[in-house]
Structure 1
């Protein structure tokens, strides 16, 4: 029986992918390779997924037109050779030398001399050979990209005798492409730094010794040895040893975290002090770091509305420029104009109309911003969410775990009778309730205390018999107390706290006032948002007294208390009728509201998978202070995109207007195109600075 080949998917990293046109062409070329079933190219992340049978050599051949290099995703990037040593740039340097010699030849023996002419032609051929080949292919297929525009312009310039300007166009166009490559490489720096964080090898236990093994070959259940000063190679659980770990690569938080037996550690984090034995819990492709990288890369491939608009506009932009150039050439001829002069003007319009700067104006800003945020411990799951965050004018906060730390503490204890801490511990130690944990902190166990008939009463508390007497601990409603006792409790009441009573059915022995402490940064964050003209709400399932107290403490504008998950969802829908609403929660109980909001923010430290799955934007540091920073980053990014589009189109329009007095030259045209690319690049890279 003949066995059929199983189709498989391989992931590759790309180098030298500088523009969306080149990306589309490369993807088309790969799709034409025999054995390839499907292709998915992520331009922002420079990542290629191929399903089917294909060799690395075939992929590189598909990208030869733009010197695109391909490597398997599991291989780390090799350090690049200096610019001047790269083989693909040798023709450019030779062309530059020939161009300089041509100018000197023209100065000493004349521009019309055969030697000068040959030197200029050689400069164009050597420097523009790849450009001409791709341009002619596009022209034959009637696909009018930038290569076609430049090819027509250079050949046209040569035909009308403007050899010097034709050669200059070739050289400056090459420089412009290098600027694009530089821009995209820099904008991808955030994700590239994440990819290179985790080590390639690990010390894995084999029998009684440890041997160095490639991390891709380590399976869950293996034991790895992590030395001080080394990075954790894979996700796992500490089974022996004690150390402090710097988890900045995962959470963005630089303060080291203490790790002991049964604590989780993550690939790419730095072991600072002690030696650890770690049992591996995930393959290298499924680590927390790998999840983050995947999310960021997917985010970079999801186009923001602004980018979608630019892509649609660019689709019609190039034919429109070609039509203008044709009109500039033909219309003056009809009225007896100088054919050579207006042909030259038309060719100049083709050059100045090259869409390079316009095409990269949006993606370079989006990719830079998402990469910058990832380095700061904020995962933005797409350009659309980055853009939407800047339009938010109302933010709804969950209370527990978001505005508060989610760690209840006893703020006041009052003993009405002799302390019975051992009894309290015996009743509360096994209940598992967060309030129980707050009460038992600092209480010691007494092994002599035995509880009979132990019972948990849902929503009320627990009870049990100790030494023949039934004791209870729980809500006030769980007891039948005298009016005097209730009055005394009310006099002691701490605003915003939950009351827990210990005693017998009709006696209160001890009263605990427990409060969920507000995050240190919560009040300042609310004030920052108000200064940004953003309305703040609090949605909580807690009672109105607690909700109002916390709301007043942090300064939110409106408090909605006593809510079920569906109530939160309905409130979000109501506010969306007049506002752009964001919801921020812990990613566990607030899923419906997070999904309904225009932007869902999730609080989540390194161990919270729901933070990665539920929301549009995950604050991995678990720091509320990142919220206004993300909104500010979004607003700055949209401002940069608008500036980029204005630069790209404004400079070109200004250059085209020079046709009217007849001042537009190929030199000015190519400088306008290159200037626009340079401005767009530098303007976008401003987003790389720490926000």
Structure 2
């Protein structure tokens, strides 16, 4: 998969096959880094992918793939839908397949079962030649992959897990064969043969690799679940077909086209129970749409004409016709998959430490094994003991768990977060989220709905006993003045009329008054034939009626609302203005804004709100939902400066700040913050600047995002602890003879399995405010 940007660079994703441990990752990265034209490369063991940035035109992708293959690994360009299904489709007899595991255990069972019978007084074992016959196919047929991969790593000037396994098992097998061929050992010393050790090591490593492959499938479930949302075909209506209410669409009136042939502007038919194939707007029909896998919204959402829909969502009970706006890689679903894949293939900064350790790990282990062998040989004067203990060191030290510790946790954490509408794009935030002690919110569109609504309409005559009919007549008339206007307050009036089932009164001689408002003559109702004007209160300064109007509007101003006044401009012979009603507009708080702030307080995080509103309005909102500190009358360009001040060291402690916003003017602050969170309901610029995107635009997701980030970070630390602990404890024990080669192989496989299983526990995470 490739992409271009405006900086004269190209980005590619390669699927890498044959990697087995952290040392493999380090070697592939080094090989990529030495290629002329490659600007950056990052390889991930858990996803088996490499992200590469090259200078445009410097080298072809086929040349890069060839150079990677020379290092001993398979490589191919990733498809548009990634490589997440590859593990599922692997053959039963593949290198990591279950068939090889079962066969290896069947052949090895007669070799190691006598060990378990000895405590019960049953002294039985196969002859040395039978042991040789059973161990040889395990060593050189089922275990041949380790020789091939080990040889390739040596040829590339490095080492990996396969080399350790090949060296260790060959030493045990070779020692046993040597003892068997000495005549005095053929019958009397069968118990000194170690064929079972080499065979069982290969069995356990194969079992570990199979368990790893299965665990990797589970960590990639989030991607696969999203990929399955893509329908294969779309029903595109024929050009010129007229849509009529209560009239069905017959089979001959649409074409069933492959999804890649659907173009923006096409009209797509979606039947009940089908997945919506494209992003677009409903132009016919109504239904409930399940968007849970895309946004994390648990309940189906009611959709009607002019409602936007997302490709991949599940249609409910109604027939819909959708005008396609975005298809393929331009769709929201494709972008979500791309974001999650990027997050899962990127590395957290702590992984750099692991990579540095892994680069020298295998050579160090080989040296330690040689030292253990020589030391034991000198101390015990026994070549068999020396070889067995050196073999144990080689086997226990396989760095599989070390290589999987971080990427497995990142895959599981970002995957489960995506299921609930939290897209973690930058793994670095996982290392910072647990340190957060301040969360700063933009107000408009983040804590509020982001668009004005009519909150009150107060007539001047009989303000306290005005009947609903009078109010409705005024609202219908005011809405009629705004017909055709795109101003946000005009839309708020029209929405209010629609909510009250009112039809706006038709108006003639309408004209916009720049900086003032709008004027027109209603054609019906109590104000028919009068010249009415809807304007701001501030524009009336200097008029005789200004003080009266201001007195009526002051209560709304005190609440931080925007106030307009409806005026009869020709109500008397003197031409004086007669106010009819004041209309207050405001941006309502989101229903769960207070719950979001309470959740952050429970996490002992201080909350801050940044607003361009006046002091009174901003303070009122802050007090309503429990914000700790409010910054009012903030210019858009100053938000980043405030974030920087909040981060400053106080009392010897640096504060870690998250910024939550949705607008273009929030982008600098989102980038400045330690963790940026953007609402998907906002602008693309904001989402690009943020490390986390909240798909539902609900402020409660902020606490959930911090919580899942903390838990993922904890899993990374736990995994690294166990990975280092296994090696730190296991290597000395193996060198001192407390771990036989067979137990060392079991412990090595167990370490990888424990790390992956621990990471998979993240799949049980659920949002606290769902």
Please state which band the TM-score falls in when normalised by the shorter chain.
0.7 to 0.9
In 2, Cα distance between equivalents of 1:78 and 1:133 = 22
1:425 paired residue number: 479
Q: Is the 8 A contact 2:23 2:362 kept in 1?
A: no
1:654 aligns to 2:729 (yes or no): yes
2:446 paired residue number: 402
Deviation at 1:621, TM superposition (A): 1.1
2:657 paired residue number: 581
Choose which of 614, 617, 626 in structure 2 pairs with 1:555.
Answer: 626
Q: Deviations over 1:28-68 (max 9, x none)?
A: 999999xx99998665555578995869xx99x96998899
Within a 5 Å distance, the mapping from 1:347-358 to structure 2 comes to: 347-358=391-402
Q: Deviations over 1:219-249 (max 9, x none)?
A: 3333332111111122233333333322223
Q: Is the 8 A contact 1:296 1:381 kept in 2?
A: yes
Within a 5 Å distance, the mapping from 1:41-60 to structure 2 comes to: 45-46=47-48
2:668 paired residue number: 592
Choose which of 508, 515, 526 in structure 2 pairs with 1:450.
Answer: 508
2:512 aligned counterpart, secondary structure: strand
Deviation at 1:19, TM superposition (A): 5.0
Q: 1:214 to 1:678 in 2, by over 3 A?
A: same
Within a 5 Å distance, the mapping from 1:49-448 to structure 2 comes to: 72-73=79-80, 77=85, 80=88, 89-103=98-112, 110=125, 113-161=128-176, 162-205=194-237, 209-331=253-375, 333=377, 338-417=382-461, 420-421=474-475, 423-440=477-494, 441-442=496-497, 444-447=503-506
Q: 1:412 to 1:173 in 2, by over 3 A?
A: same
In 2, Cα distance between equivalents of 1:131 and 1:593 = 51
Q: Once structures 1 and 2 are overlaid, which stretch shifts more, 497-506 or 613-622?
A: 497-506
Q: Is the 8 A contact 1:586 1:611 kept in 2?
A: yes
Q: Once structures 1 and 2 are overlaid, which stretch shifts more, 265-274 or 404-413?
A: 404-413
In 1, Cα distance between equivalents of 2:99 and 2:31 = 25
Choose which of 588, 592, 595 in structure 2 pairs with 1:517.
Answer: 588
Q: 1:569 to 1:431 in 2, by over 3 A?
A: farther
Choose which of 547, 562, 566 in structure 2 pairs with 1:498.
Answer: 562
Q: Is the 8 A contact 1:12 1:70 kept in 2?
A: yes
Q: 1:280 to 1:432 in 2, by over 3 A?
A: closer
Q: 1:689 to 1:70 in 2, by over 3 A?
A: farther
1:3 paired residue number: none
Q: Is the 8 A contact 2:235 2:268 kept in 1?
A: yes
Q: Is the 8 A contact 2:71 2:152 kept in 1?
A: no
What is the TM-score when the length of structure 2 is the normalising length?
Answer: 0.78
Q: Deviations over 1:380-428 (max 9, x none)?
A: 1121123322322111101111111224333333211386445533444
2:190 paired residue number: none
1:680 paired residue number: 755
In 1, Cα distance between equivalents of 2:760 and 2:134 = 38
Q: Is the 8 A contact 1:11 1:73 kept in 2?
A: no
Q: Is the 8 A contact 1:96 1:123 kept in 2?
A: no
Q: Once structures 1 and 2 are overlaid, which stretch shifts more, 435-444 or 564-573?
A: 435-444
Q: Once structures 1 and 2 are overlaid, which stretch shifts more, 515-524 or 467-476?
A: 467-476
In 2, Cα distance between equivalents of 1:333 and 1:614 = 61
Question: Which runs of 5 or more residues in structure 2 are unaligned?
Answer: 1-9, 53-58, 116-121, 177-193, 240-251, 463-469, 523-528, 570-575, 650-654
Q: 1:77 to 1:223 in 2, by over 3 A?
A: farther
Q: Once structures 1 and 2 are overlaid, which stretch shifts more, 489-498 or 215-224?
A: 489-498
Q: Once structures 1 and 2 are overlaid, which stretch shifts more, 346-355 or 433-442?
A: 433-442
In 1, Cα distance between equivalents of 2:61 and 2:684 = 34
Q: Is the 8 A contact 1:494 1:513 kept in 2?
A: no
In 2, Cα distance between equivalents of 1:493 and 1:581 = 33
In 2, Cα distance between equivalents of 1:272 and 1:666 = 59
Q: Root-mean-square deviation (CA), in Å?
A: 3.8
In 1, Cα distance between equivalents of 2:280 and 2:511 = 41
Deviation at 1:674, TM superposition (A): 1.8
Question: Which runs of 5 or more residues in structure 1 are unaligned?
Answer: 1-7
Q: Deviations over 1:591-640 (max 9, x none)?
A: 221122121111124x9645643422111111111111110111111111
Q: Once structures 1 and 2 are overlaid, which stretch shifts more, 342-351 or 84-93?
A: 84-93
In 1, Cα distance between equivalents of 2:144 and 2:476 = 87
Q: 1:438 to 1:225 in 2, by over 3 A?
A: closer
2:713 paired residue number: 638
1:629 aligns to 2:704 (yes or no): yes
Deviation at 1:299, TM superposition (A): 1.7
Q: 1:9 to 1:213 in 2, by over 3 A?
A: farther
Q: Deviations over 1:626-669 (max 9, x none)?
A: 11111011111111111111111112222233257532321232
In 1, Cα distance between equivalents of 2:20 and 2:297 = 33
Q: 1:89 to 1:23 in 2, by over 3 A?
A: farther
In 2, Cα distance between equivalents of 1:347 and 1:15 = 27
Q: 1:148 to 1:509 in 2, by over 3 A?
A: same
1:663 aligned counterpart, secondary structure: coil
1:533 paired residue number: 604
2:664 aligned counterpart, secondary structure: coil
Deviation at 1:132, TM superposition (A): 1.9
1:471 paired residue number: 533
Q: 1:120 to 1:37 in 2, by over 3 A?
A: same
What is the TM-score when the length of structure 1 is the normalising length?
Answer: 0.87
Q: Is the 8 A contact 2:26 2:359 kept in 1?
A: no
1:511 aligned counterpart, secondary structure: strand
Q: 1:373 to 1:397 in 2, by over 3 A?
A: same
2:255 aligned counterpart, secondary structure: strand
2:199 aligned counterpart, secondary structure: helix
Q: 1:238 to 1:650 in 2, by over 3 A?
A: same
1:410 aligned counterpart, secondary structure: strand
